[in-house]
């Protein structure tokens, strides 16, 4: 950085247009000349002053804490909590929007993509904090963690928000969505390998040819690179083996995040930490439902009781709350009552379709049969008693119930009773 830039950083007051252009152009030119350089410590913050001039604050790794959570990468971490704006005593909303525009422009020019997340990420902050602790960013080991839970519980949303928070701290990052779906297509794993190498290395029009060659290329090209990889919705061990089979494929401080419906798969993968995505509590559920149904955080006064009934029906499942809230938005009370009556008889098709994925992935018809028997007759019943009954009917109940639990289709409570997830 030249002396003129240092003067700017020291607090010289300059024209807003010149300040913005000079800083962005200088940093973009510097960064694009060295593709391997990290950009997290390279952004400038223009600060609004009482004289309607701009003072350029210090270089920062992440935006300050006052930026709204609507822009996840701007959330502050413990390492950056003290890196606040200089030259201003307050941080107004219009300033936050202005700074966000600058950050987005820089990221756009550098071809870094912010992942789209839920418009109303209710209850996400505490869960993201938990995942960040598991990731232990900054430690030299190559760490792999897993997020598991029922379909529609918010695993992918959680992984996206975590990714947006931390991806600037790595030399390369890649979010591979719907891995199981793509892997099931013709040459699907090869295409996923090509996408991984393209996003991490920028290699265009790469044709790998076979899964084995792709595995070798990943190892050769990434073994010294600090990367962040998210593999979303894995359901088979060979998917991970093809994309991130060994920790030594990547450089020190790399992080790999996996989402899956199958807890047992994470045990096979020997991940460092496992996080079970949990349902929203009633307060969070009502808030999320209200955002979609009423465009505000609480239900309209005369809708409070029926809104609470629908929230209880949804059972803390974010997908169900969003779908039902949007479905009922703008409808009158008579329609709400009719909809609730219908839901208690027939689940909403979009919710049922998402949840059915977990059921359809069960290994065989016998496994599906035992699940339906338990769901219809044995919820709330002692597990040992259920095993005795089912074994007497020709099932291998111990292993089958264990599989249903690992797939997040059943739970066992403190009284050793089978319950819905």
Catalytic residues: 26
Contact assessment for residue 264 and residue 403, using Cβ atoms and an 8 Å cutoff: yes
Contact assessment for residue 115 and residue 164, using Cβ atoms and an 8 Å cutoff: yes
- 52 backbone φψ class: left, alpha, beta (φ>0; ψ -120 to 50): left
The rounded distance, in Å, linking the Cα atoms of 280 and 271 is 25
Q: How many Cβ atoms sit within 10 Å of the Cβ of residue 14? A: 16
Residues contacting 208, CB < 8 A, separation 6+:
190, 193, 194, 197, 214, 217
Read off the tokens for 121.
Answer: 């990420």
Contact assessment for residue 200 and residue 227, using Cβ atoms and an 8 Å cutoff: yes
Closest residue by Cα to residue 55 from 14, 99, 26: 14
Chain centroid, CA 184 distance in Å: 22
Interior angle at CA 61, CA 59 and CA 66, nearest 5: 90
Interior angle at CA 88, CA 87 and CA 89, nearest 5: 135
Residues contacting 16, CB < 8 A, separation 6+:
46, 53, 54
């Amino acid at each position: 950085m030249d002396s003129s830039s240092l003067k700017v950083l020291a607090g010289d007051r300059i024209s807003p247009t010149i300040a913005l252009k000079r800083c962005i152009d200088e940093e973009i030119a510097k960064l694009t000349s060295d593709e391997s350089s990290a950009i997290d410590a390279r952004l400038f913050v223009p600060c609004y002053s009482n004289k309607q001039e701009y003072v350029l604050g210090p270089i920062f790794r992440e935006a300050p804490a006052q930026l709204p959570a609507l822009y996840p990468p701007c959330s502050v971490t413990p390492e950056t909590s003290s890196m606040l704006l200089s030259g201003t005593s307050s941080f107004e909303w219009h300033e936050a929007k202005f700074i966000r525009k600058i950050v987005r422009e820089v990221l756009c020019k550098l071809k870094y993509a912010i992942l789209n997340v839920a418009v109303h990420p209710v209850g996400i902050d505490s869960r993201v904090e938990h995942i960040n602790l598991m990731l232990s960013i900054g430690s030299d080991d190559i760490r792999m963690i897993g997020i598991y839970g029922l379909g529609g519980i918010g695993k992918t949303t959680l992984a996206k928000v975590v990714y947006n928070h931390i991806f600037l701290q790595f030399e390369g990052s890649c979010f591979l969505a719907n891995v199981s779906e793509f892997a099931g297509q013709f040459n699907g794993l090869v295409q996923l390998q090509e996408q991984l190498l393209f996003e991490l290395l920028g290699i265009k029009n790469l044709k790998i040819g076979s899964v084995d060659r792709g595995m070798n290329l990943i190892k050769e090209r990434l073994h010294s690179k600090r990367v962040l990889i998210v593999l979303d919705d894995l359901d088979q061990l060979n998917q991970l083996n093809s994309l991130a089979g060994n920790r030594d494929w990547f450089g020190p401080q790399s992080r790999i995040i996996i989402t899956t419906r199958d807890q047992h798969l994470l045990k096979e993968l020997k991940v460092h930490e496992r996080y079970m995505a949990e349902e929203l509590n009633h307060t969070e559920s009502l808030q999320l439902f209200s955002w979609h149904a009423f465009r505000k955080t609480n239900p309209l006064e005369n809708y409070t009781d029926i809104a609470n009934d629908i929230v209880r029906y949804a059972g803390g499942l974010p997908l169900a709350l969003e779908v039902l809230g949007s479905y009922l938005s703008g409808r009158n009370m008579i329609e709400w009552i009719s909809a609730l009556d219908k839901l208690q008889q027939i689940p909403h098709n979009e919710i049922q379709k998402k949840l059915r994925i977990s059921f359809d992935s069960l290994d065989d018809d016998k496994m599906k049969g035992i699940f339906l028997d338990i769901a219809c007759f044995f919820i709330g019943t002692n597990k040992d008693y259920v095993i005795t009954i089912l074994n007497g009917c020709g099932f291998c109940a111990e292993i089958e119930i264990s599989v249903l639990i690992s797939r997040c289709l059943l739970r066992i409570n403190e009284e050793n009773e089978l319950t819905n997830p």
